[in-house]
Structure 1
């Protein structure tokens, strides 16, 4: 029989950040959203703009109030249960009902207890994942796989993640990145109605032009990281 301590631990999540804003990428661009950023990621993408979430050091653990008081990106994190998270949403007075679980790599966690608790309160869930860990999410969770190929961490994109994806959002800078996506789609085919988005890395003009051209030719979608153009979080 599991002890109460083990059950409590299984229901806890390492949270780096909680904030309300607009979703700036992919299918839900422009939708008011609560972002729940989890701490920890071993994938090691060189262009990652949240490298402060990679390591989980005990010395960086802070209280929930201290976490919410952060004014800039940092490796500080707090241990929170699903109940803690919902209570904080309500305490902050958030009105958005779309919750984006991101990281870090959120699929390192069992998100089923959190997902069930949030959905019971009327929230819609979206997870943004590299596709390198087994997904433990509710059936109605919108899964955005941003496949990370040949990254320093050495993790492989999982066929089961690609098959579960509602949306595949692929960062590109040059043709070789599109070629790599093509190879992945052949090796790990998504479901027929999965939406494919190309996202230019760092909004570089050449990358944006290539993404636009490819999206038009293939009837894919362009993801332009609206939040960076608007200079919002």
Structure 2
């Protein structure tokens, strides 16, 4: 039985990408070595044994914390029930969830009638059920030194690229040349940190390239 290191579980509305507006249960998995400087979940990077807590303790915390708990699938389902979650889509996020083999977890969720999506940097192989919706948000030349994998790009249902300057758009165009023949993921540009200049840049290139704009709408409306 697999056990998963989980930083946070909550129910909300997806605010980004193709599933914007979809009620979802977010399962935030602990651990990420990629090192994005603008990351808004840096508290999930390290898996420190001293930070392990019970699920009840972690769920009772308010605000960001590096604490995490271990959970089996059955324990996770019991947590969903206790919390009264009604959403039928589960988003596996992080951290970097694809550090781990998510085939069993995603398959069990799908067997229970949930839709499943994964948000990944594209720096680890995506091991998941075939029906999982995979969002690759490529993190190029980050501090951790990880390359974007061709296998992750090929598995993407959508590529949601963070941008703040022209070189980020150039990086995306270079990545798209590596897609296998016939691959047609949805392409989104997402302004980093909602900066005005980044938003203007994203709009310009979405129009020029017939891509889509992803805004972090949850931040605009003040939800998690």
Partner residue in 2 for 1:225: 216
In the alignment, the residues of structure 2 paired with residue 212 and residue 52 of structure 1 have an alpha-carbon distance, to the nearest angstrom, of: 31
**In structure 2, the residue corresponding to 1:87 is in which secondary structure?**
helix
* 2:47 counterpart of 1:56: yes
Partner of 1:5: none
- Report whether the alignment pairs 1:27 with 2:45: no
Cα shift at 1:193: 2.5
* Match status 1:144 vs 2:135: yes
* TM-score, reference length from structure 1: 0.94
Matches within 5 A, 1:78-227: 78-189=69-180, 191-227=182-218
- Separation in 2 of the partners of 1:191 and 1:14? 36
Name the CA distance, whole Å, in 1 between partners of 2:178 and 2:110.
33
Give the Cα–Cα distance (whole angstroms) in 1 for the partners of residues 108 and 8 of structure 2: 19
How far apart, in 2, do the equivalents of 1:98 and 1:169 lie?
19
2:67 counterpart (76, 101, 113): 76
Give the Cα separation in 2 of the matches to 1:222 and 1:115: 28
- Report the more deviating stretch, 44-53 or 113-122: 113-122
Distance 1:170 1:229, change over 3 A: same
Gaps of 5+ in 1: 1-7
In 2: Cα distance, 1:29 partner to 1:190 partner: 28
- For residues 180 and 39 of structure 2, the distance between their equivalents in structure 1, rounded to whole angstroms, comes to 25
State the 1:219 CA deviation: 1.3
Query: Normalization by structure 2: what TM-score?
Result: 0.98
The alignment partner of 2:43 has SS state of helix
CA distance in 2 between partners of 1:35 and 1:175 (Å):
32
**3-state SS of paired residue (1:67):** helix
Moved more, 178-187 or 73-82: 178-187
Is the Cα contact below 8 Å between 1:165 and 1:191 reproduced in 2? no
> Relative to structure 1, is the Cα distance of residues 190 and 56 closer, same or farther in structure 2, using a 3 angstrom cutoff?
farther
- Aligned residue pairs, count: 224
* Counterpart contact for 2:23–2:89, Cα < 8 Å: yes
Distance across 2 between alignment mates of 1:190 and 1:111: 26
For the residues of structure 2 that align with 1:190 and 1:229, how far apart are their CA atoms?
37
